[in-house]
Structure 1
Amino acid sequence: MEQLLGLTNPAPLSLTSLAINLLLGIVLSSMVAWFYVQYGRSLSNRAKFAQTLPVLALITVLIISIVKSSLALSLGLVGALSIVRFRTAIKEPEELIYLFMAIAIGLGLGADQRWPTALAILIILGYLLARHFLVQRPEKNNLYFNIMTPNGEASFSQINEVLLSHTDAAELRRFDTTPENLQATYLVKCADDTALAALLDKLRGQFPQGEFTFVEQDNTLGA
C-alpha cells in the first residue's frame, strides 16, 4: 500500500537538478537549431522554424521532470494529450527529424539521463554532418515555372518556343487566359544555372511586362 501511495504522490522536485537540465537543454537544442539552419535542406524558413526547437526541448524537460515521479501526474498528462490535438501541418519531412530531436533532448534530460542524451545528440549530428558532405546531392534542375503577361504581348506558341529553346524539357501544367492577362505554368528541366539565366534573359527581353516565377521541384521530371 505504501508503494502504491508513493506512485500516486509526487516526489519533491529538485530545483538544482531542474536548473541544470534546463541549461543543458538550452545548449543541446541550440546546437540542433544551429545545425538545422546551416545544413538543413528544407525549402521553408529554416531560421524561423529553428527558433522553436529550444523552446520545445525546454518545455519537454519541465513536463517530464514534473510527471516522472508520479503515476497520477503521468496519467493526467496522457489524458491531457488525448484531448489536445495538434493540427499544425509539417511541410517538410526533414522538420520531423529535428522536432523529434528536440523532444528527445527534453525526454532524456527530464529523466536525468544527461550524458546518454548529450552523447546521442552529438553522434546524430555527427552522422548528419558526415552525410551532408559525403552523400552527393541530386542536381536541382527541375523547376515549376509560372509566367503572367498582358494578353496582347505574348501568345502560347511564343512562350513554348522560348522554353523549348532554352530547356531540356517543358511540360504545360496549367494555362489560364482572360481579356487582360495570359498565365501559364510549366514544369521545366534546365541543364544548369547558366541555361536558367539565359532563359530568364530571353523572357525579360521578349516579354518586358511579364511576371516570372521559378520554384524548385526536384526529381519530378525526367531521369
Structure 2
Amino acid sequence: MLDFSVLNSSFSNPTWISVIYAFLLSFVLGTALAVVYVKTFRGLSYSLNFLHGLVLLPIVIAIAMQAIGDNVARGVGMIGALSLLRFRTNVKDPRDMFFIFASLAVGLASGVHAYGIAIVGTLCFILALLVLQKSPFAAGPQFDGLLRFNLQRSEQEQREVESRLSHLCRYFALATIREMAQGERLDYSYQIRLKPEVSSADLVQTLGQVSSVRGLNFMNQESVIEV
C-alpha cells in the first residue's frame, strides 16, 4: 500500500520514495495531457513524436528539478548546459505551445514535490480545454472551408456560380479574385459555410456543372495544415 506520508517530504531533502512518486506522477499527468490532446485535435493528422514529447517532457523536467534541488550552482550549471542545445522545431499551432507549457509546468510541480498543485493544475487545464471545445464560440470555424476555381471572364457566369452557392451555402464571402490567362479568365476564392444537409461532394458536383468552371478545389477549414 502506498505511504502518502512521504508526500510531505521537503524539496531540499527528498526521500527515494518521494522521488519515485514525482516521476510516476509526471508520467501519469503527461499521459493525461497527451490523451486529451488527441481527443481534442481537429487537424488532418497529429505527430506521434509530439505526443511522445508531451509524455516525456514532464519526466525530464522532474529529473532536472530533483537534480538541482535548492543548489543555486546546480541551477546555473543546468542553464549553461541547456544553452548548448539548439531546438529547431517550429511550433506552428499556438495550441501545441500551450500543451508544451502545460507539460513543463507538470514536470516542475512534480519535481519540487508540489503534487497537489500538479494534479489540480492538470485537472483545471483539461477541464478548461473541454469547456472551450463545447462552448458555442469555439465550436468550430466561422467558415467550413475555402473554395477555389477559375472561370471565364463573364458577369453572367459569375452570377450563375453565386446563384448556385446561395442554394448550397448558409453564407459565402469572396476572399480573393485575380486575373489569369492574360485576363481571359478569373481565379476566384470563396470562404463558405455549407448548409447542414449539403456535403462538400454535393458542392463540387453542382459547381462542376457550370460549363466554364475549371480547377475546382474545396479545402476543408478544419483539415488545413501547413506543409
TM-score by shorter chain over 0.5 = yes
TM-score normalised by length of structure 2: 0.68
For the Cα contact (< 8 Å) 2:164–2:207, is it kept in 1? no
Determine if the alignment matches structure 1 residue 166 to structure 2 residue 165: yes
Residues 169/127 of structure 1: CA separation in 2 closer, same or farther (3 Å cut): closer
What is the deviation of 1:108?
0.8
| RMSD of aligned alpha carbons | 3.5
For the Cα contact (< 8 Å) 2:147–2:216, is it kept in 1? no
SS in 2 for 1:104: helix
Q: Which structure 2 residues correspond to residues 1-223 of structure 1 after superposition, within 5 A?
A: 16-40=17-41, 42-43=42-43, 45-46=45-46, 48=48, 49-137=50-138, 140-142=141-143, 143-147=145-149, 155-157=152-154, 158=157, 161-167=160-166, 168-173=171-176, 175=178, 177=180, 184=187, 186-195=189-198, 197=200, 198-206=202-210, 210=215, 212-216=217-221
SS in 2 for 1:213: strand
TM-score normalised by length of structure 1: 0.69
What is the deviation of 1:125?
1.7
For the Cα contact (< 8 Å) 1:164–1:170, is it kept in 2? no
Residues 160/83 of structure 1: CA separation in 2 closer, same or farther (3 Å cut): farther
SS in 2 for 1:125: helix
Question: Which one-letter code corresponds to 1:145 in the other structure?
Answer: L
SS in 2 for 1:60: helix
For the Cα contact (< 8 Å) 1:65–1:111, is it kept in 2? yes
What is the deviation of 1:112?
1.6
Overall identity of the aligned pairs, in %: 19
Matches of 2:140 and 2:123, distance apart in 1 = 29
What is the deviation of 1:195?
4.5
Q: How many residues align?
A: 199
Residues 64/163 of structure 1: CA separation in 2 closer, same or farther (3 Å cut): farther
SS in 2 for 1:51: helix
SS in 1 for 2:206: helix
Task: Give structure 1 stretches of 5+ with no counterpart.
Answer: 1-10, 149-153, 218-223
Out of 206-215 and 66-75, give the one that drifted further.
206-215
Matches of 2:199 and 2:47, distance apart in 1 = 27
